[in-house]
Amino acid sequence: MHPIPTLALESELAAGGADFVFGLDEVGRGALAGPVMVGVVALKSADLPRLKVPAGVADSKMLTAARREAIHLDLENWAEAWAVGSCSNHEVDEWGITHALGIAALRALADVEARLDLGPDSFPAAILDGTSDFITKAADSFDAPTLPLLPTVTTKVKGDVSCATVASAAVIAKVTRDRLMVRLAQERADVAPYHWEKNKGYGSAEHIEAIRQHGPSDLHRVSWHLTG
C-alpha cells in the first residue's frame, strides 16, 4: 500500500498567509539524455478546506507507467493551474544540473503564474521536494525568466510522498517527460539504437552499450560520464 499524500503542509502555509500554494518536483535529473523537467501544481489556499486528494496519487516512482497515465488527467483537472518547465541537455551541459533544475522550475512557475489571478499583494508559497532550494538561487542569475512574484520556497524531504501538490507535480512531470522520450525514439531513426522508449534516457545497460557502439547523439548530456 502506497503512503497517501495529504494537504497538511499546504494548509500550514496557507494558514501562514499564502494565498496560493505551489508544489514542485523534478524528473530526469539522473538521465544520460533528454531534458530535465520540473512540474508545478498550484492550489488556491481558499479552496484547501474543501479539496480532497485525488484517488491514487502517490510518489511517481511508486506508480507504474500505466497508473501514472491513468491518473495524470485527474491531477491536472484537480489543480487550480499546473505547468512543466524544462531545460535541454545542452543547457544541462552548459550550466550544470543544479542550475538547470532551477531554471526549469522558474520556467514552470512563470507559466503557471501567468494562468493565475495573482495581484500585486499576492503571497504565493512553494513546496519543493528535497533539501536544496535551487529555485531561489537560480532566480538571482541572468538566465532566469521574469516572474510576476517569486514564491517563498519551503523544501521538504520526501515531499513527493507526503505532500499532495508535490506528488501531483511529480506525476505530471514524469508523464510529460516519458511521452517526449518515447516520441523521440519513435520519430528519430538516429536515436532508435538507444531504446529510449524503454529506458527514457536513463543509464540502462542497453543504453550505455549503445552509446559505446554509436557514440552520443545530439540529445545526450555530453558533459556526463556516459559510459561509466
Domain boundaries, the chain: 8-172
The pLDDT, as a whole number, for residue 59 is 62
| Closest among 176, 218, 168 to 25, alpha carbons compared | 168
For residue 4, give every residue at least 6 positions away whose Cβ sits within 8 Å of its Cβ, in sequence order, or none: 53, 57, 58
CA distances from 30 to 56, 120, 126 (A): 26, 38, 23
Identify the three-state secondary structure at position 29.
Answer: coil
Query: Cα–Cα distance between 107 and 61 in angstroms, integer?
Result: 23
pLDDT value at 1 more than 80: no
Q: How far apart are CA 192 and CA 15, in angstroms?
A: 51
**33 pLDDT higher than 60:** yes
> Model-level pTM?
0.95
Residues in the chain: 228
pLDDT > 70 fraction of the chain, expressed in percent and rounded: 98
140-147: Cβ within 8 A, 24+ apart: 141/99, 141/102, 141/103, 143/95, 143/99, 143/103, 144/102, 144/103, 144/106, 145/103, 145/106, 145/107, 145/110, 146/110, 147/106, 147/109, 147/110, 147/113
For range 177-205, the mean pLDDT: 96
Domain 8-172 fold is Nucleotidyltransferase; domain 5 (3.30.420)
Amino acid at 217: S
- Asked whether residue 82 carries a pLDDT value surpassing 60, the answer given is yes
DSSP alpha helix (H) spans, the chain: 8-15, 65-78, 89-95, 97-115, 134-139, 159-162, 164-187, 196-199, 205-214
Which positions make up the binding site? 25-26, 129
Looking at residues 83-92, what average pLDDT do you find?
98
Mean pLDDT of 194-207: 96
Residues contributing to the annotated binding site for a divalent metal cation: 25-26, 129
Return d(Cα 159, Cα 10) in angstroms, integer.
11
pLDDT of residue 58: 67
